[in-house]
Amino acid sequence: MKHLAYLNKYLYKYRWRLIPGFIFVVISNYFGVLPAQVIRIAFDLVKENIGLYQLFAGFDRQALVYQVFGYSLLLFGALVLLLALIRGLFLFLMRQTIILTSRHIEYDLKNEIYSHYQKLDMAFFRANNTGDLMNRVTEDVSRVRGYLGPALMHSVNILVIFVMVITAMFNVNAHLAVYALLPIPILSIIVLYVNKIINQRSQVIQERLSSMSSFVQETFSGIRVIKSYNRESNKQNAFEEESVAYKDASISLIKVQAFFFPLIVLLTGLSTVITIYIGGIEVMKGSITSGNIAEFIVYVNQLTFPVMSIAWITSLVQRAAASQKRINEFLKTTPTILSPTTADFKLQGHLEFQEVSFTYPNTGITALKNVSFHVKPDQLLAVIGRTGSGKSTIARLLMRMYDTDEGKVMIDGQDIKTINLHDYRSQVGFVPQEVFLFSDTIGRNIAFGLDTLDMAVVEKAAKQAALYENIMRFEHQFETEIGERGLTLSGGQKQRLSIARALAIQPQVLVFDDCLSAVDTKTEEEILQNLRPVLRGKSALFIAHRISSIKNADHILLLDKESIIEQGTHDDLIAQGGAYFDLYQKQLLEEQES
């Protein structure tokens, strides 16, 4: 329960919706209890009038008695109907207030979680898988809503029904009340027990279902691979196994449920039988009327649903508490990378690594050891090296996706940890190694970093990235939808779009992480040509695999196993005749062969 206490702030926020809701609960139940008493009066009236009717046998008056009797019964019938209608109205209002509030809180909570996600750093997203993160916003929140809405409403409802009905029962006859209520505790225990089994089995079903849906999802994403390796029937069999497991779990649940409902009916029936038996004895003793028995039967039946729902509510609350616990844990995670200041920061373009070492926190892999370099405005630094040598890590540290373990990253002579991160990032054009495009139009994908969609800027960026002519050949040009439901761009087109996105923000610093790997050498040459004027007065970090793309860099770092092994200009490095020279020779040969 203590986990759910977190939600109290929301309950407080919506108190002026909830309080009327609870009042409606009380009113609706009051009108729920009243009909029983009306029925009792009607019953007693019937009995009296039958006596009276028989008394007037043979007199003219008998017809009149009959008429009056008939009318009053009709009146009672109408009254019960009216009370039910009033009750219905308040039930409606109760749902309109309490359930509606739960939707409002659900909305607030989702927003709170989502905005917290946006604040967290890369390390967090690496440590948690996407499905898990999704579940927080979707499934966990809707379970919590189960507590805020139905559970809260029915708890109050049940409490009020119990108090009202049991009071009414004891007011009529305590002896009979005790007997009529006797099966209720037994019923509750059975319900709680069976409910536990139902919950366990539902849990299994839930697991089977989610395993089945991830299986299906993976099949769809991997359909190309599945088809080309002829694995369709193989997958079909695996799916069948999943379905059978799901079916078995479902059937085992149905078995318990099938047993559960008749049991409840049996026990309530027992209550009714006891009421009639003990009530009959009381009537004979003269302590109650036969109308009271009818009244009691209505009461007993009114308690059945609440008793049944206690178990349901308990499990709703338990599940909500478990979900809220997960949500709380995550809301308590604080981002380690925060902007320390809101002071404006104007980037010049001095980028410096001072003996930087870095180990990935989640895997313990040391990606950089003692790396130092300095890029001045108007300079282009290139980083080249084997796969896994730590090149992308340099880019990530430069973007402050992570903080260094040792050494410092200095930006314009200041530690990156001390500058306004938001301002800084908005002046750096970063092209990550893995291109990510949103399911949106090409234009808006390029303008992603801009606050407004400025087509002139977008077109210019597309031209610089050598993508403009490609886009113009599409039917809808910049309005072409890409991604899930749209057009699929080729690998090289995607990379150039990603470059255009970085250029569109007119950055002071450019960081390109191996973003020309999927374009041919001719296009690569064109892009590099275009970039020359763009880069004037700016600094750039180019990560590459092919020496051809970085030959003209002002300074080149050759990385191997986390450290810089050689550095200098292309000509220096060739003259050295070391690892860089070997790599160059090898790449030249490959080019000639192809």
Tell me which residues touch Mg ion (CB under 5 A): 391-392, 433
Tokens of 246: 């799901």
Nearer to Mg ion, 391 or 538 (CB): 391
Nearer to Mg ion, 34 or 557 (CB): 557
Which of these, 413, 518, 423, 508, lies nearest to 465 by C-alpha position? 518
557 binds, among ligand ATP, Mg ion, none (CB under 5 to 8 A by kind): none
Strand 406-411 relative to strand 555-560, pairing: unpaired
Q: Which residues lie closer than 8 Å to 180 by C-beta, 6 or more apart?
A: 169, 271, 274, 275, 278, 296, 299, 300
CB of 386 to ligand ATP, least distance (A): 7
Segment interacting with ligand ATP, rule: CB under 6 A, options 227-235, 253-261, 355-363, 456-464: 355-363
Binding positions for ligand ATP, 115-174, rule CB under 6 A: 126
Instruction: Check residue 387 for interaction with ligand ATP (CB under 6 A).
Output: yes
Point out the residue whose Cβ comes nearest to Mg ion: 392
- Contact at 8 Å (CB) between 395 and 511? yes
Contact with ligand ATP (CB under 6 A) among 217, 362, 439, 490 = 362
3-class secondary structure, 517: coil
Residues 504-523: x where in contact with ligand ATP by CB under 6 A, - otherwise, as a string: ----------x---------
In angstroms, rounded to a whole number, what is the distance separating the alpha carbons of residues 197 and 253? 8
Segment interacting with ligand ATP, rule: CB under 6 A, options 62-70, 318-326, 356-364, 420-428: 356-364
Q: What residues form DSSP beta bridges with 518?
A: none
CB of 235 to ligand ATP, least distance (A): 30
Instruction: Check residue 388 for interaction with ligand ATP (CB under 6 A).
Output: yes
User: Can you say whether the dihedral through the CA atoms of 443, 444, 446, 449 is positive or negative?
Assistant: positive
Instruction: Check residue 392 for interaction with ligand ATP (CB under 6 A).
Output: yes
Using CA atoms, how far residue 492 sits from 404, 486, 503, 518, 525, in Å, is 32, 17, 17, 5, 14
367 binds, among Mg ion, ligand ATP, none (CB under 5 to 8 A by kind): ligand ATP
- Phi and psi at 178, nearest 5°, equal -60, -45
Nearer to ligand ATP, 19 or 365 (CB): 365
Tokens of 316: 């709703």
Nearer to ligand ATP, 514 or 524 (CB): 514
Nearer to ligand ATP, 459 or 513 (CB): 513
Instruction: Check residue 498 for interaction with ligand ATP (CB under 6 A).
Output: no
Contact with ligand ATP (CB under 6 A) among 367, 504, 509, 516 = 367
Exposed / middle / buried, residue 331 (Cβ in 10 Å: 0-12, 13-18, 19+): middle
In angstroms, rounded to a whole number, what is the distance separating the alpha carbons of residues 362 and 383? 25
Contact with ligand ATP (CB under 6 A) among 363, 452, 592, 594 = 363
CB of 330 to ligand ATP, least distance (A): 20
Angle at 257 (CA atoms; ends 252, 258), nearest 5 degrees: 95
Instruction: Check residue 365 for interaction with ligand ATP (CB under 6 A).
Output: yes
387 binds, among ligand ATP, Mg ion, none (CB under 5 to 8 A by kind): ligand ATP
Exposed / middle / buried, residue 509 (Cβ in 10 Å: 0-12, 13-18, 19+): buried
Instruction: Check residue 391 for interaction with ligand ATP (CB under 6 A).
Output: yes
Tokens of 273: 């039988």
Q: Which residues lie closer than 8 Å to 504 by C-beta, 6 or more apart?
A: 446, 447, 448, 449, 450, 457, 458, 460, 461
Instruction: Check residue 370 for interaction with ligand ATP (CB under 6 A).
Output: no
Instruction: Check residue 374 for interaction with ligand ATP (CB under 6 A).
Output: no
CB of 392 to Mg ion, least distance (A): 3
Q: What is the DSSP string of 120-179?
A: S-HHHHHHS-HHHHHHIIIIIHHHHHHIIIIIHHHHHHHHHHHHHHHHHHHHH-HHHHHH
Segment interacting with ligand ATP, rule: CB under 6 A, options 51-59, 98-106, 259-267, 391-399: 391-399
- C-alpha torsion angle, residues 501, 503, 504, 505 (rounded to 10): 100
Binding positions for ligand ATP, 408-467, rule CB under 6 A: 433
CB of 428 to Mg ion, least distance (A): 17
Tokens of 539: 């600094």
Nearer to Mg ion, 19 or 365 (CB): 365
Contact with ligand ATP (CB under 6 A) among 389, 441, 495, 539 = 389
- Binding residues for ligand ATP, rule: CB under 6 A, are 126, 360, 362-363, 365, 367, 385, 387-393, 433, 514
